[in-house]
Amino acid sequence: MDLLHSWGVELVVHLQTKYSSYEGLFSLASMVADLHTTFFWFFPIWFHLRRDTGLRLIWVAVIGDWLNLVLKWVLFGERPYWWVHDTLFYGAGPTPALRQFPITCETGPGSPSGHAMGAAGVWYVMVTATLATATEKQCPPLLYKFLQAGLWSLMGLILVVVCMSRIYVAAHFPHQVIAGVITGVLVAVVVSKQRSIYSASMKRYSYITLFLTSFAVGFYVLLKFLGVDLLWTMAKAQRWCVTPEWVHLNTTPFASLLRNMGTLFGLGLGLHSPLNTTTKKTHSFRVGCVLVSLFLLQLLDGWTFSSENLVSFYFLCFGKNTVALSIPTTLVPWALSGIFSGKKEDKNL
């Protein structure tokens, strides 16, 4: 693996040397590829414009990121920014100088890339949903072919930029981002075929959330009992990150796990809340729900909390994402329905 890693480091150096002018684009690509963008931006839009696609987005993102966590624990992937300092591959010679950035010092194992995996799954869902809408609208065959070629090309271009961004910031090796893209698409294909995700009961949401959480924690405890430290990467991140403030607890495996479980549980709560309204939703009502939801989610996103107490930190990670999914699925539609109903009653008086 050292030889493969050394080739990856050479590519990191090449990108940082030749493409430094694209640093802003790479940073933006990494930010958009983070599942946080899916939960706080993509989901509210798709949920109110095409409900089934919104549900599929969350299921693909959550299942994919959970699988990514398990695979990272199994594969023990290195990251370039610490590997160049730990390896004996370069012997007594100088090690390559890799630049680091605020988004470089992730604390979990590196393989497969979570950003590449998440972006591949999420964009697969959005592209297939757009093509399905075009089919339903009886798009002319020639125009459909152009649309199909354009969307898949756009997705390919986006994934290339995301992969380059993760390599550029020295967070991943090339084989890790390639593995992430392939695995992400496979997860999206498999999950999209499960019709039960569109009609899952609250009990089912609860059981799946509990199962996924218990499996991950149980797997961690089992390997810990066998003498395998699954948090070995935290020490490497703290040791080799050039700026200690760039090592964030919210990039740890358990923080990611609880964010995703909170998201899935919040989706179930929102869909099965007694506040859900059954009134017919007009186009303007849907647009209003999207805009208000996005506004409130950005306010919620600004809420940060201390990581000094791990128990409270992880609990708040779960709770924050539970609330985040409840806002667009039930709270905003309920509130706007009440406001519009009140105005109609006033006009009738």
pLDDT in tens, the chain (349 residues): 899 999 999 999 999 999 999 999 999 999 999 999 999 999 999 999 999 999 999 999 999 999 999 999 999 999 999 999 999 999 988 899 999 999 999 999 999 999 999 999 999 999 999 999 999 999 999 999 999 999 999 999 999 999 999 999 999 999 999 999 999 999 999 999 999 999 999 999 999 999 999 999 999 999 999 998 888 999 999 999 999 999 988 888 899 999 999 999 999 999 999 988 766 678 899 999 999 999 999 999 998 888 778 889 999 999 999 999 999 999 999 999 888 776 665 555 5
Residue 304, sorted as left (phi over 0), alpha (psi -120 to 50) or beta, turns out to be beta
Burial class (CB in 10 A: 0-12, 13-18, 19+), 178: middle
The DSSP call for residue 308 is: S
Burial class (CB in 10 A: 0-12, 13-18, 19+), 298: exposed
Question: Token pair for residue 272?
Answer: 């099965």
Domain residue extents for the chain: 2-339
Q: How far is CA 85 from CA 54, 79, 89, in A?
A: 43, 11, 10
Q: Is 48 marked active-site?
A: no
Question: Token pair for residue 106?
Answer: 């992730």
Give residue 345's pLDDT.
Answer: 56
48, 115, 248, 283: the catalytic one is 115
Q: Is 172 marked active-site?
A: yes
Q: What share of the chain is helix, strand, coil (3-state, %, to 5)?
A: 75, 0, 25
For the stretch 310-316, contacts whose Cβ atoms lie closer than 8 Å and that sit 24 or more positions apart, written own/partner, are 310/249, 313/249, 313/255, 314/254, 314/255, 314/258, 315/258
Residues 6+ apart with CB under 8 A from 245: none
Give residue 70's pLDDT.
Answer: 95
Question: Token pair for residue 243?
Answer: 């700026």
Give residue 327's pLDDT.
Answer: 97
Could you give the count of Cα atoms lying within 13 Å of 241 in the half-sphere of its Cβ?
21
Packing angle between helix 51-75 and helix 114-136, nearest 10 degrees?
160
CB atoms under 10 Å from CB of 265, counted, come to: 24
Q: How far is CA 103 from CA 162, 248, 329, 332, in A?
A: 13, 9, 31, 33
Which parts are annotated binding residues?
79, 166
172, 175, 272, 283: the catalytic one is 172
Rounded Cα–Cα distance for residues 22 and 101 (Å): 14
Which parts are annotated binding residues for substrate?
79, 166
